[in-house]
């Protein structure tokens, strides 16, 4: 079964690590025989009325577990992880749900709302009723993003992977066959949407980040030459203080 663990607002503006990195580190805390399937970054609404660190994103860890008996242990470990690595001045939140849980459909709806309008802690708590949702410092506003991360990831059509298998070990140029062997579908977004050949090369620009499409990793690419493609979407520079509202 798949277990979804959402983290949000664990960092501060000048921190050398963000919530995504904290989420990725949680792999080392997983109990046997649980395994990390992936970590997905979710983008939420950007609005001047919302206090956020840099891009208002949250992260969801997707864990493969034999059954639901590991839920309480995962919650305990996740709380300890937040307490160990979240930074003073942040407003951390944690959410956990799993496949088949009654609250998951409401969390999915809530996550989609978070991408388009300002929501409240009360709405997050209502959506997560029956699932685990907890705040761990500051204003506890992180419960909003944590709940949204779980919902959007369970939805299966939102976010990009920041961890999946050996994602970070691929070279800058990689064969389509190697990506597909790793479980990453290569999808052309050209006007004609030709199917990439298995021996074609994809230039990742040193930043391979598949999207979550249909509950699976998919890499959007555009043709640059015959048998050559380029992944779409470049890494954003982290904004400095005072730049956000320009």
| Whole-angstrom distance, CA of residue 241 vs CA of residue 14 | 9
* 12 and 36, same domain (yes or no): yes
Residue 166 counted as domain residue? no
Residue 155 counted as domain residue? yes
* 85 and 139, same domain (yes or no): yes
Residue 236 counted as domain residue? no
Residue 238 counted as domain residue? no
Q: What's the structural domain count of the chain?
A: 2
* 87 and 198, same domain (yes or no): no
pLDDT of 99: 95
Confirm if 4 and 16 have CB atoms less than 8 A apart.
no
Residue 113 counted as domain residue? yes
| Whole-angstrom distance, CA of residue 245 vs CA of residue 22 | 26
| Whole-angstrom distance, CA of residue 224 vs CA of residue 233 | 14
pLDDT of 233: 80
Please give the full DSSP string across 94-119, using - where no structure is assigned: EEEEETT-TTHHHHHHHHHHHTTS--
- Give the residue numbers spanning the domain of 89: 2-161
Residue 34, both tokens: 């649980």
| Whole-angstrom distance, CA of residue 154 vs CA of residue 3 | 9
- Give per-residue pLDDT as tens, 30-59: 999 999 999 999 998 765 666 555 567 899
pLDDT of 192: 80
Taking residues 150-155, what's their average pLDDT? 98
Residue 242 counted as domain residue? no
* 220 and 124, same domain (yes or no): no
Residue 10 counted as domain residue? yes
Per the listing, tokens 């009325």 go with: 49
């Amino acid at each position: 079964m798949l277990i979804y663990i959402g983290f949000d607002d664990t960092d501060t503006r000048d921190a050398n690590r963000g919530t995504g990195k904290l989420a990725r580190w949680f792999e080392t805390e997983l109990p046997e025989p649980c395994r990390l399937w992936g970590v997905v970054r979710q983008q939420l609404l950007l609005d001047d009325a919302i206090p956020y660190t840099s891009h208002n994103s949250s992260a969801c860890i997707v864990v493969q577990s034999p059954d639901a008996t590991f839920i309480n242990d995962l919650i305990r470990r996740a709380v300890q992880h937040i307490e160990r690595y979240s930074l003073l001045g942040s407003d951390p939140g944690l959410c956990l749900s799993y496949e088949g849980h009654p609250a998951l459909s409401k969390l999915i709806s809530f996550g989609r709302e978070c991408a388009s309008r300002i929501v409240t802690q009360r709405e997050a708590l209502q959506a997560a009723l029956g699932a685990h949702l907890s705040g761990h410092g500051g204003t506890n506003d992180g419960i909003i993003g944590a709940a949204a991360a779980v919902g959007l990831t369970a939805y299966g059509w939102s976010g990009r992977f920041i961890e999946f298998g050996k994602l970070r070990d691929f070279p800058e140029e990689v064969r389509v066959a190697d990506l597909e062997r790793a479980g990453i579908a290569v999808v052309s977004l050209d006007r004609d949407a030709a199917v990439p050949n298995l021996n074609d090369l994809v230039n990742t620009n040193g930043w391979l980040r598949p999207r979550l499409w249909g509950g699976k990793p998919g890499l959007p690419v555009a043709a640059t030459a015959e048998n050559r493609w380029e992944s779409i979407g470049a890494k954003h520079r982290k904004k400095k203080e005072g730049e956000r509202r320009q």
